[in-house]
A and B are shown apart, each in its own frame.
Chain A
Amino acid sequence: MKKYINDLTVCSNRRLSDDYFILGLTSSNALPEMLPGQFAEIKVDNNPNVFLRRPISIHDVDYAKNVLYMLVKIVGQGTQTLSTLKVNETVNLVYPLGNTFNMDGVTNVILAGGGCGIAPMLYLARHLHQKHIKATILLGGRTMIDILEAKEFKKYGDVFISTDDGSMGEKGFITNNSIMKKLSSFQRLYCCGPLPMMKVFAAIAKQQQVDCEVSLENTMACGIGACLCCVAETDKGNKCVCTEGPVFNINQLKWQI
């Protein structure tokens, strides 16, 4: 897929909570095709302490309105600065980057997003829905304010929720949600979130022989396979998460699970 470097215009910046916001970005040109799981490298201006671009996953694309949505968690100075972007300001993106989820050969799947790992799952759910693949969605977080956009997800499938403190959905870790008892009824598990969470999902999926794809969030510099900083260990050696990921089948990864 062709990659672009473009200035996009902020058309919305919706604060979801202290930690999360959704940027809406538009352009006078038609946005290029983007796939679920892909991401953009966003340049952070006006902060001398931020040098590198920030990789942010594509949350959703509304081609009718020509708007790209990015759900961002504030984790440091880069994302903090991005959170202050105002409508009509421009921001420079290198995008779309990375691969996508495998949506072939399945009719019934489950998506699991923990915390900010929810971000790429909405666009995946939209694509699965368009392909008439039945999607069940599992969202998890520490508390109810970490459960983002649950209403949006309901458009595309049944939604199950876990919070560590029980403030929303079932109490406990997302990996212990009751829907996981039925994991073997699904043909594939897609997941994104903190590494320990993904490893638990991967271990359960492997044990129950359910195909499983994970989206990794390694720190990176260039985003286009040049710097070789973001590598994951795979069965075929070190692979760039930015170009050969971020989505990997767990069978490719050298995880001790």
Chain B
Amino acid sequence: MADLKVKIGALEFKNPVLTASGTFGYGPEFEDFLNIDSLGGIIVKGTTLEARQGNAYPRMAETPAGMLNAVGLQNKGVDAFINDIYPNIKHYNTHIIVNVSGSKLEDYVTVVEKLNDLEHIPAIELNISCPNVKQGGMAFGTSCASATEVTKAVRAAYHKTLIVKLSPNVTSISEIAKAVEDEGADSVSLINTVLGMAIDAESRRPILSTITGGLSGPCVKPIALRMVWQVSQAVKIPVIGLGGIMNFTDAVEFLLAGATAIQVGTANFIDPAISEKIVHQLDAYCDNHRIRAVKELIGGLIV
């Protein structure tokens, strides 16, 4: 048994395996398949101030080694989360992190002010990288000025661990990461989905109702690994890596590239038990390589 504990800011995780927002619901959806408490943490569905219906169907297209989605932040709003969902999940013995999304600066601030008071939510993931909403979302995360502005406002309003989720759809993700670090983010998570599209050659129409959507799955892993590597060189705060992690070797690769923790996303759709399996296999990997603490793997790439 290796020591799997990792720290993000002041927050200690029992292991580095988290589930990515938008791929794991709120947890109960997966209770039949795994023990939620075995995970380092779960990041629940992107939550906005008001309820959102999301985009029109079709919202999904399968692609080689991946998929495109255009869900568009369908959620019941932060008040419904606090009143109807949180009471049913707060007993989990793992860190529950809320992914906070918005279209306006004030909306982000209002949402995080409400989340401050929830005892069993020790952190938020600020989503400035959703490619599927017309206003806000990714727009906040694609320039240093706007990323700075939203992180500064949220940092002033939120008193616990603040993770900022970054978009890969930028010229320099390291510059954005440094900008949010300067504003007091405790961690950055990357990557959100890569903007892409799919076309039906027969009908000559786009497959997604929104024409473009967010690409995820193993096809984006090399991009994600490269960005985690670059960002972890550029910032001092811990990096949480995600993008196409399907198994424990993918997880190890992200840790070696510099990630302190990882998120399992699209893989949850293929194997709803995969995140717990990765925890156990990571433990076995450490034992096999005589690694006493998983922390030793972080940034352990030999170049």
A and B held together in a complex: yes
Q: Which residues of A are in contact with B by a Cβ distance under 8 Å? A: 2-5, 43, 48-53, 94, 218-233, 237-238
Q: Quick check: A5 and B268 within 8 Å, CB to CB? A: no
B272 interface neighbour in A50, A94, A218, A220, Cβ under 8 Å = A94
| Contacts A/B (CB < 8 Å), 9 sampled | A52-B62, A218-B57, A219-B58, A221-B269, A222-B23, A222-B268, A222-B272, A227-B60, A227-B69
Q: Quick check: B54 and A228 within 8 Å, CB to CB? A: yes
Taking the closest CB of chain A, its distance from the CB of B201, in whole angstroms, is 14
Q: Quick check: B25 and A225 within 8 Å, CB to CB? A: yes
Q: Quick check: B32 and A3 within 8 Å, CB to CB? A: yes
**Please, which residues of chain B bring their CB within 8 A of the CB of A225?**
25, 29
Which of A49, A50, A94, A238 has its CB near the most chain B CB atoms (within 10 A)? A238
Please, what's the 1-or-0 string for B196-236, where 1 marks a CB less than 8 Å from any CB in chain A? 00000000000000000000011000000000000000000
Taking the closest CB of chain A, its distance from the CB of B35, in whole angstroms, is 14
- B63: interface (CB < 8 Å): yes
Closest 3 CB pairs of A and B: A229-B60, A222-B269, A226-B25
Taking the closest CB of chain B, its distance from the CB of A39, in whole angstroms, is 15
Please, what's the 1-or-0 string for B50-63, where 1 marks a CB less than 8 Å from any CB in chain A? 00011011111011
Q: Quick check: B54 and A221 within 8 Å, CB to CB? A: no
**Please, which residues of chain A bring their CB within 8 A of the CB of B169?**
none
Assuming A226-B30, A228-B71, is B272 touching A49 (CB within 8 A)?
no
Q: Quick check: A227 and B71 within 8 Å, CB to CB? A: yes
Which of A48, A218, A227 has its CB near the most chain B CB atoms (within 10 A)? A227
Taking the closest CB of chain B, its distance from the CB of A193, in whole angstroms, is 18
A51 interface neighbour in B24, B66, B71, Cβ under 8 Å = B66
- B65: interface (CB < 8 Å): yes
- B271: interface (CB < 8 Å): yes
Taking the closest CB of chain B, its distance from the CB of A56, in whole angstroms, is 15
B58-83 interface with A by 8 A CB criterion: 58-60, 62-67, 69, 71, 74
Taking the closest CB of chain B, its distance from the CB of A97, in whole angstroms, is 11
A228 interface neighbour in B58, B59, B64, B268, Cβ under 8 Å = B59
Q: Quick check: B71 and A43 within 8 Å, CB to CB? A: no
CA distance A4 to B271 in the complex (A): 11
CA distance A221 to B63 in the complex (A): 12
Taking the closest CB of chain B, its distance from the CB of A51, in whole angstroms, is 6
Taking the closest CB of chain A, its distance from the CB of B205, in whole angstroms, is 15
CA distance A247 to B252 in the complex (A): 42
Q: Which residue of A lies closest to B45 (CB)?
A: A228
> Could you list 12 further interchain pairs (A-B, Cβ under 8 angstroms) beyond the known A2-B32, A50-B62?
A51-B62, A51-B64, A51-B270, A52-B270, A94-B33, A218-B58, A222-B268, A224-B30, A229-B58, A230-B60, A231-B57, A233-B57
- B195: interface (CB < 8 Å): no
**Please, which residues of chain A bring their CB within 8 A of the CB of B268?**
222, 226
Q: Which residue of B lies closest to A1 (CB)?
A: B32
Q: Quick check: B53 and A219 within 8 Å, CB to CB? A: no
Assuming A5-B273, A227-B69, is B59 touching A49 (CB within 8 A)?
no
Q: Quick check: A5 and B62 within 8 Å, CB to CB? A: no
Taking the closest CB of chain B, its distance from the CB of A200, in whole angstroms, is 20
Q: Which residue of B lies closest to A229 (CB)?
A: B60
**Please, which residues of chain B bring their CB within 8 A of the CB of A43?**
270-271
- B22: interface (CB < 8 Å): yes
**Please, which residues of chain A bring their CB within 8 A of the CB of B60?**
219-221, 227, 229-230
CA distance A4 to B60 in the complex (A): 24
CA distance A61 to B283 in the complex (A): 40
Taking the closest CB of chain B, its distance from the CB of A139, in whole angstroms, is 28
Q: Quick check: B64 and A49 within 8 Å, CB to CB? A: yes
Q: Quick check: B217 and A51 within 8 Å, CB to CB? A: yes
**Please, which residues of chain B bring their CB within 8 A of the CB of A49?**
64
Q: Quick check: A231 and B67 within 8 Å, CB to CB? A: no
B74 interface neighbour in A48, A219, A228, Cβ under 8 Å = A228
CA distance A43 to B267 in the complex (A): 12
Assuming A51-B63, A221-B269, is B23 touching A226 (CB within 8 A)?
yes
Taking the closest CB of chain B, its distance from the CB of A173, in whole angstroms, is 23
